Amino acid sequence: MKNHLSLLVPLVIILLAGSPSARSAPPAEPLTLGEALQLALANRPAFEAARSRVDSARYLRVGLFAPPPLRLSLQATSSPPSFGSDDAIVFSQAVDLFGRRQANRTLGEAQVLLAEAQLRSVFAEVQADVVDRYADAVAAKGLAASARDQLALAERLLQATRQRADGGIIAPVQVKRVGIEVERARQTLALRQSAQLAAFRRLAVALGVPETRVEVGDFPSLPIGPVDALTLGRQRADLLAFAAQAVLAEASVGVRRLELRPDFELSARPSGLRAMLSLPLSD
């Protein structure tokens, strides 16, 4: 029994410390919907990871379009020199005859498009989550305020009913009826306050901030108008992702097809210039 009490006392202390009555932090300033979205984007690892993938794809695009380097080959042999193999120093340069650089650049562009579409998709998910949580918090706060007003009105009505009953104007049973309404309004307020606390906690989790920093104002009016199909195709993250995947697949096929083309190389040696054409024999 003592062991159970020793475990129960710290648990009660933790619960009391986390309860609204135990917090003494000053009330936070109301967050606008835009500020809430900025906090969520700053504290979401998924959004930061998606943005890093976009940066990585852009750097990779630059590397894929880089020209082939000029190579210097040095050789030494103890074998007797033979024709064409006695050059100790060779400068060689690969020549792109079939557009491999452009194909690689197209592949890099497709990878960037896909990464940007994925970033837009993550942004849309975060935005939808924040808007939903923010709207729930605003609604819960409004319902709690309405329940608080109803309780105050019911208490004033109870006081007036008691005065009229004490004066013999109405029957005393009316006081009991109004008292029941007061108790119902009090329970409704407790329910609305609990719902508000839960909504604020869900919003705090969505924003990645402590609950003490969460406070909302009025929900802003969002302009909603008709969107044509062309604009929708440029803004929908899923449609952009499908288009980017199609471009990426086509670019991958083009790069793979060019790998079967010959390689052409020019080299400068002490014995003279040489051109070499290499043909792939298998894929």
In this prediction, residue 182 carries a pLDDT of: 92
DSSP state of 216: B
In this prediction, residue 21 carries a pLDDT of: 41
CB contact at 8 A, 144 and 193 = yes
DSSP state of 99: -
**Residue 137 CB: number of other CB atoms within 10 A?**
25
In this prediction, residue 67 carries a pLDDT of: 79
Which two three-digit tokens encode residue 67? Answer: 């020209």
Reported as a single tens digit per residue, the pLDDT across 216-246 is 988 777 767 676 777 767 778 888 888 888 8
CB contact at 8 A, 139 and 200 = no
Reported as a single tens digit per residue, the pLDDT across 125-156 is 999 999 999 999 999 999 999 999 999 999 99
How far is C-alpha 195 from the chain's CA centre?
26
Exposed, middle or buried by CB within 10 Å (0-12, 13-18, 19+), for 116?
Answer: buried
What is the rounded distance in angstroms from the CA atom of residue 243 to the CA atom of residue 113?
Answer: 9
What is the rounded distance in angstroms from the CA atom of residue 235 to the CA atom of residue 239?
Answer: 8
Rounded to the nearest 10 degrees, the angle between the axes of helix 100-166 and helix 173-207 is: 160
Cα distance from N-terminal residue to C-terminal residue, the chain? 76
In this prediction, residue 269 carries a pLDDT of: 77
Where the chain has pLDDT below 50, the residues are: 1-25, 84
In this prediction, residue 14 carries a pLDDT of: 32
CB contact at 8 A, 269 and 74 = no
Alpha carbons within 13 angstroms on the beta-carbon side of residue 86 total: 6
Pick the closest to residue 74 from 62, 100, 57, 92 (CA basis): 92
What is the rounded distance in angstroms from the CA atom of residue 109 to the CA atom of residue 102?
Answer: 10
Alpha carbons within 13 angstroms on the beta-carbon side of residue 243 total: 13
